[in-house]
């Protein structure tokens, strides 16, 4: 599979989807003008990956901020990941960012995927 790499900007996150090296990560800020358009290639990549995944998959979220339109797409990403065997989420949050921690907890309540919470 091709690697998808999108460099982060002031309003879009960094995306690293690298099957060969087992790195699946979204980090930074997510407030794109059109989140459906922005996240489409990410969703497409995950759907293709799900057909032939690595034996175990850790998807890393290291978000500083995401707007509500992005939160819907993040849930869509999680739904796409849900059926992958050996999937787990690593949800990073700044140690004093209760809102980000809580957001991760809420996502974990909406999908059947083990979440690991990692403060930094």
The reply on whether position 68 binds another protein by CB under 8 A is yes
Contact 45, 30 (CB under 8 A): no
Residue 29 pairs in a beta bridge with 65
Give least dist CB 61 to another protein, A: 16
The reply on whether position 72 binds another protein by CB under 8 A is yes
Applying CB under 8 A, among 16, 31, 50, 118 the residue interacting with another protein is 31
The reply on whether position 115 binds another protein by CB under 8 A is no
Report the C-alpha gap between 76 and 74 in whole angstroms. Answer: 5
The reply on whether position 14 binds another protein by CB under 8 A is no
Residue window 83-112: x/- pattern of binding to another protein, with contact defined by CB under 8 A: -----------x-xxxx------x--xx--
Report the C-alpha gap between 37 and 91 in whole angstroms. Answer: 24
Q: What is the dihedral of CA 47, 49, 51, 55, to 10 degrees?
A: -140
Number of Cα atoms under 13 Å in the Cβ half of residue 94: 8
Q: Which residues bind another protein (CB under 8 A)?
A: 10-11, 31, 33-36, 65, 67-69, 71-73, 75, 94, 96-99, 106, 109-110
């Amino acid at each position: 599979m091709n690697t998808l790499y999108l460099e982060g900007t002031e309003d879009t996150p960094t995306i690293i989807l690298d099957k060969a090296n087992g790195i699946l990560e979204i980090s930074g800020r997510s407030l794109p003008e059109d989140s459906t358009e922005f996240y489409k290639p990410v969703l497409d990549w995950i759907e293709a990956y799900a057909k032939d995944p690595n034996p175990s998959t850790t998807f890393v979220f290291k978000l500083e901020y995401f707007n509500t339109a992005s939160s819907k797409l993040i849930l869509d990403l999680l739904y796409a990941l849900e059926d992958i065997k050996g999937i787990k989420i690593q949800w990073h949050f700044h140690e004093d960012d209760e809102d980000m921690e809580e957001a991760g907890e809420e996502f974990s309540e909406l999908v059947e995927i083990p979440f690991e919470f990692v403060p930094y």
